Structure 1
């Protein structure tokens, strides 16, 4: 819309200058020819100017357009010093403005200088007065300065548009990263919950199978299966919490660990001791949840590989970090005791280590002095 209005104004000015110049044409054949030539060249320059803008400002068209605009500005400047042709200076000013805005600084200054020289030459040839000899060069200089200001504004506008586009692209990428982070977070949470719940459930079912096939103890098998059913309900509840990302509902870490220890004690019938050392302080959900899931994974592994061994959980609060340690004696091989398996596939501790690394924490799991120890640490 703005471009259309600009071209309507340019066309109107061009027609007005032509009417004003040739309604009362300049006296003398040479003067009339120079005025007509300037007007015709200006029309060609305007036509190519419009075509160049419409066709996308191709390099070849742009070079020819700049050349025609410069020549038309100079010729119109020369003719404007003739009697009754003063309005042709308007074409020179329009072309100097365009060149000073769109072309390089050297082209703008060169066109303005040549136009001023042409005006002064016309003044000498036609004996024009002082007002033209001094006034027109001042007008050309003023228009050149205005064109530089317009050029600076255009450059700033283009830079602002580019910056805005880059900002929008960055925001879109940030939104995409946030979505991917959230998906990864929920996927990890679902995996951790399911790995713990299904692992414990698998152990319960295998224990019931052993009781039924090897010992024919139906009563104990029913009790174990009832525990498996409760475990399924608990797993569904935990999975819903993970799906809905209800981290804000997480209780203090020591309370969550106490509940976890009590649940493990009831399910597997082994002693579980929880020790809290240091002065407890509040942890964010992002800090507490990986520690809780690490404890769940360690307890699942203890039930799988050392089902009859007691477990010790130690939570230590220090000035700059929190440490969680879960350890139990290594089980002695017993041919009478079944070897339980889970669905984890060995990826549980790897997932825990990745979670803790994102927080700047560490995870160590190894056998030492006849005991299996899992130690997780997160910075405060």
Structure 2
């Protein structure tokens, strides 16, 4: 439509300038000049305007100015192709307005161009000229009407497809939430309740041990077993909360984990949190927590040196880094019987690697990445999940 309007503009100017009387500044030439200006301005603004959010009155204004100007040119310049801007105005009305409103506005323009053409044309060809003008208006109007209807149907189809995609995504999310809720219920019913019962039994065993004055080592073992059971129960509840999507701050959970590792593993740990905290998806939350557990356990098992836990919130990702300083020479003597006099090399790290593999798989399932490897004399594990 916009390309056609530029073509009509060129054709109208050429036709008016070549027909008589020519545009001028007084009398009939002045009227022709004003009508030509109306055609030119309305065509230019229509060709440059692509905003479809205007009101119907504003949308109809330019085609009406073009149609009236074309009819005036047809009346004062019978030899010009004034029927072209008039029929273009009809086409614009059907292309941009509702069919009923377009028909209401286009009918007077069509009747006017037919009457003017028949009145000013040669007597023998008046009827044919009028019919030709009407047919041109009808054909262009019908083409633009069908094109507009096709465009609206296409837009409606795209809207339906977008709504269908949104519906499918919502169904998939609902199914995932329902599945996590089912797993959370099963985990709570089986594991959490079993651990609760075990904690009760161990508490009873502790009281019996105190009553019967058993050996201190056995009493301490029962007490520690009860503590481990309660900690396992807390982990199970944390996993259930993550599956249900409960929002628990990541920093708080890591702080609790670090405090427990300091106490249970006798591991000197420092923790830092930088950046603006953000909520994580339940799967990412649980993956970070399990990864931190594995990394701290490995640091205590293989290094036993001061360890740092750094949680960073960047604009594009959440990053968790666990780093140790490696095993010292004295610790190598205790662990292996031979002092190497240097820190732990990568070859000193032993184990099946299943923990790191599971950590990497958890992070990758939530769209993140994991890097684990030597850093200086120690070992660094870094987990990153996009924001």
**TM-score scaled by length of structure 2:** 0.48
Report which of the two structures shows the higher radius of gyration computed on alpha carbons: 1
